Amino acid sequence: MNRRIALGFIVAMVLIASGFALSFYSYNQYGEDTKRVRHTYDVMSALENVLSLVKDIEGGSRGYVITHDVAFLEPYLMAKRLLPDKLKQLRELTTDNKIQIHRRQLLEKLVQEKLTVTKTRLNLPIDSKNGLETSRIGKRQMDAIRRHVALMIDTEKTLMGSRNRQAERSFRNTLIIIFVLSLLTFLALALSYWLLEQELARRQANEDQLRSYENQLKSQIRQLETSNEELERFAFVASHDLQEPLRKIQSFANLITERYANLFDADSAMFMGKISHSAERMSKLIKDLLNFSRISSHQEDFKAVDLNTIVQRILDDQELRIKGLDVEVEVSNLPTIQAVASQMDHLFNNLISNALKFTREGVRPKLRIYARPVDGDVYTGLVAGGTYIEITVEDNGIGFDEKYLEHIFKVFQRLHGKSAFEGTGIGLAICKRVVMYHQGYITANSQPDHGASFIIVLPESQSLHYYDRPAAAETHSYPLG
């Protein structure tokens, strides 16, 4: 019994394979026949197009010769411009038929002779002897072209009839084979049932393996979270321990300067100033690094944040600097979004500080902040159909070359020397990390000496994003402008 069952399965498989092969062959044959029929239609259409253009040339030139009205030259010139492409198309379509190749070559010769005579006729008066003779020649040529095109079309019609009959035979054969194949498929259902059982068993094994991988992944995630917590504690302790000797350096430097300033010469005063300035810069660098590390590692709840309040508070803190630089500030009404308020402080504080820092000498500084809603389809990496807020922070400062756009968002990347502009080179990296944490997008447009526009796109609601926040954010790209 087992041998009979096995033999039945083998016979069914052979029959199905044979049916598929015959059906595939018949289907391809029918496709080729249909393709040849379409090719015949294309040749006939190309011939009619060529004849129509030659008629336009004849009619346009004849109207111009009779009336000398340049309006009649428009169809002539249009047809003369299109004719080479149509002849080229006809040449490509008739490469498979030696008889039609010869006739097409003769047609091209007739058309070229027609164009030559037509060009000559345009320069001769109709009532002159040469003009009348040229017109007669042109008419004879036109009649010859009509007859030649009609002959070629008749040949194609004959071919089309033969090819249509062949296509019908191929179609009938295809139907018969498909019917037989359906019967064979019914006989193979038993085999399919067995294969289905095997597939279900395989899927169950895969599911068990995936569950094992999932448990391993959860264990690794817990280890990673523990590692992140340890790194955050390390960063806090390290920053605290590093700040302590810095504060002592600053304190003793200030004490030495206050008590012994009258004993310093110019070099000594400069050296002490450099010590104090370097210690202050190191302190700020440590604070910025700590803020940078805390952005994604320190999980905070998203709440409704009024961006108007955030920006206004930063502008109030920068009031003296803004008045000192005589900055023209323009802030439009900003929306309320779901965000982490402290991170929004970091984001806008760095962007506004940069706008106030990189000003052009001799030009009154301007700072504009405005927003508009956009769809997620506008920017790469956002949720399609989601509602986002595009916020632009624009200034008229020194700007930068956009070829450096990828670099300015990296830690410690600076486009200017430390002596030219103060800063640690971390501000824009913090901005990028804040935007990534909020599942947003950041880029900039700028040109040297034409200011810069930093564009931040943030989701109106964080409910759009259900996946792991830091991991998903890292997939975003930041293209030029």
Q: Return the H-helix or E-strand segment holding 207.
A: helix 189-260
Phi, psi of 440 (to 5 degrees): -115, -155
Greater confidence, 145 or 416? 145
Q: What is the pLDDT of residue 476?
A: 37
With a cut of 70, say whether residue 414 has pLDDT above it: no
Is 55 within the bounds of a domain?
yes
CATH of the domain at 154: 1.20.1420
Task: Name the residue among 286, 296, 287 with its Cα closest to residue 229.
Answer: 296
Query: Based on the domain organization, do 309 and 447 belong to the same domain?
Result: yes
| DSSP reduced 3-state for 475 | coil
Which domain range does residue 8 map to?
2-187
Strand, coil or helix: what is 398?
A: coil
pLDDT in tens, 416-464: 444 444 555 677 888 888 888 888 888 888 888 888 889 999 998 877 5
Please give the backbone phi and psi of residue 420, each rounded to the nearest 5 degrees, phi first: -80, -45
Taking only the tens place, the pLDDT of each residue in 346-381 is: 889 888 888 888 888 888 899 999 999 998 888 877
In a domain, 272, yes or no: no
Q: Give per-residue pLDDT as tens, 244-258.
A: 777 777 787 788 878
DSSP assignment of 400-426, as one string?
--GGGHHHHTSTT--SS-TTTS---S-
Q: Residue 443 maps to which CATH number?
A: 3.30.565.10
Residues 336, 303 contacting (CB under 8 angstroms)? no
Identify the pLDDT of residue 357.
83
| Residue 358 CA, distance from chain mean position | 32
Residue 226 falls inside a structural domain: no
Segment 56-64 long-range contacts (CB within 8 Å, at least 24 positions apart) = 57/83, 57/114, 57/115, 57/118, 58/114, 58/118, 58/138, 58/142, 61/118, 61/121, 61/122, 61/138, 62/135, 64/122
Residue-wise pLDDT tens digits, 153-200: 888 788 777 777 777 777 777 777 777 766 766 766 566 566 666 767
Which amino acid does the sequence have at 290? Answer: L
Which pLDDT score is estimated for 307? 92
Query: Quick check: 204 pLDDT over 80?
Result: yes
Q: Are 160 and 41 in contact (CB under 8 A)?
A: yes
Mean pLDDT of the region 393-422: 68
What total of structural domains would you count in the chain?
2
Last residue of a domain, one of 172, 187, 202: 187
Residue 467 has pLDDT above 50, yes or no: no
pLDDT surpassing 80 at residue 102: yes
Residue 303 φ then ψ, to 5°: -135, 165
pLDDT in tens, 50-99: 888 888 877 877 777 777 777 777 877 888 888 888 888 888 888 877 88
Please report the pLDDT score of residue 114 as a whole number. 79
pLDDT at residue number 470: 41
Q: Where in 223-365 does DSSP place strands (E)?
A: 303-306, 328-331, 336-339
Q: Select from 159, 187, 215 the last residue of a domain.
A: 187
Residue 457 has a pLDDT of: 92
Domain assignment present for 230 = no
Q: Are strands 441-446 and 366-375 parallel, antiparallel or unpaired?
A: unpaired
Whether residues 442 and 310 share a domain: the answer is yes
Does residue 71 sit in helix, strand or coil?
A: helix
Q: Is residue 295 part of a domain?
A: no
Domain endpoint, select from 132, 157, 187: 187
List Cβ neighbours of 144 (8 Å cut-off, separation of 6 or more): 110
* Confidence check: pLDDT of 145 > 80: yes
Q: How confident is the model at residue 386 (pLDDT cuts 50, 70, 90)?
A: confident
- Rounded (5°) CA angle 236-309-378: 90
* The two three-digit tokens of residue 450, written as one number: 């034409």
Q: Which residue in the block uniquely carries the two structure tokens 């895969």? A: 206
Residue 384 lies in a domain: yes
| Residues 125-157 as b or e (16 or more Cβ within 10 Å = b) | eeeeeebeebbebbeebbeebeebbeebbebbe
Strand order in the sheet with 387-395: 328-331, 366-375, 387-395, 452-459, 441-446
Q: Does 85 fall in a domain? A: yes
**Chain-centre distance for alpha carbon 34:** 38
* pLDDT surpasses 80 at 44: yes
* Within a domain: 258: no
Q: Which residues contact 153 (CB under 8 A, 6 or more apart)?
A: 44, 47, 48
Pull the structure tokens for residue 407.
């670099």
C-alpha distances out from residue 174 to 17, 27, 178, 180, 402, Å: 16, 6, 6, 10, 61
| 59 and 180 part of one domain | yes
Among 324-328, 363-367, 409-413, the range scoring the smallest mean pLDDT is 409-413
The pLDDT, as a whole number, for residue 471 is 37
- Alpha carbon distance 87, 76 (integer Å): 16
**284, 276, 286: which is closest to 252 by C-alpha?**
276
Same domain, 183 and 304: no
- Mean pLDDT, all residues of the chain: 76
